Structure 1
Amino acid sequence: MGALSYHAKGEKEKVWVINPGHPITYGINECIEIPADEMYGEPQLTPEPDQTIFLSWWEGGDVCRSGNIFYRGRGKLFQFTPGHETFPVLYQKEIHQVLRNAAKWMAPSPDMIIPTTGGGHLCGDARENLDHRL
């Protein structure tokens, strides 16, 4: 198993849309250019995603799956890697659009019933083996 690859050098990042039909990519051109960001490379130490909709490239040559979808039961999760506390990535209008689209796409339908255990809490059992996090 490889090691997590990341650094905060502020390299230019290009976030490529690789699933242009997905609702999270609505209103986004084929590529979002970010002048400076923290780099996350492969391998990512996350479960295999159900779908990947963005792929990032940094000027140093690293790449990573940067927009991943996970389905868990009747829920949807969206992992989006761009953003760092010292780089103004989260102020870019394209990033705002991605986050708005993701929130709208992940919102549960009004008639969704979430199963609970006896005390009204969701079951805390992990769907996948999380031993790699230790």
Structure 2
Amino acid sequence: MSETKPTVLFVCVHNAGRSQMAAGWLRHLAGDDVEVRSAGSAPAETINPAAVAAMQEVGIDITDQSPTKLTWDAAQESDVIVTMGCGDACPVFPGKRYEDWKLDDPAGKGLDAVRPIRDQIRTRVEALLSELR
């Protein structure tokens, strides 16, 4: 963990939609100012194609990302942990800043249903980034 660069970990169940879109937004908006991670308590095989398409519409490419299993180390090394519906599967560490974002799960939804989730995530990521800076 860097003293000057905060680390943010986005966690959802499958690490295929919400957390990947959030990580994509934060990487895009923060540049090198923030270390960005994402993980899932039960990762899917691949990223949700509707999430990929929704992000491509706003010029953010997340096709190089893949769902990752949440590890204790990743959580321990993060300054801020943002959970999105992973419930009891998300570890809790003393001294960490936690946020739980209530967002619809884009799994199984088409692009029209994923766009508003993408936009809600952008708003929340922008607010988080302004607090981190």
Coarse TM-score class (shorter-chain normalised): under 0.3
Please state which structure has a larger fraction of its residues in helix.
2
Higher strand share: 1
Task: Between the two structures, name the one with larger relative contact order (CA 8 Å, sep ≥ 6).
Answer: 2
The structure with the largest alpha-carbon Rg is 1
TM-score, normalised via structure 1 length: 0.27
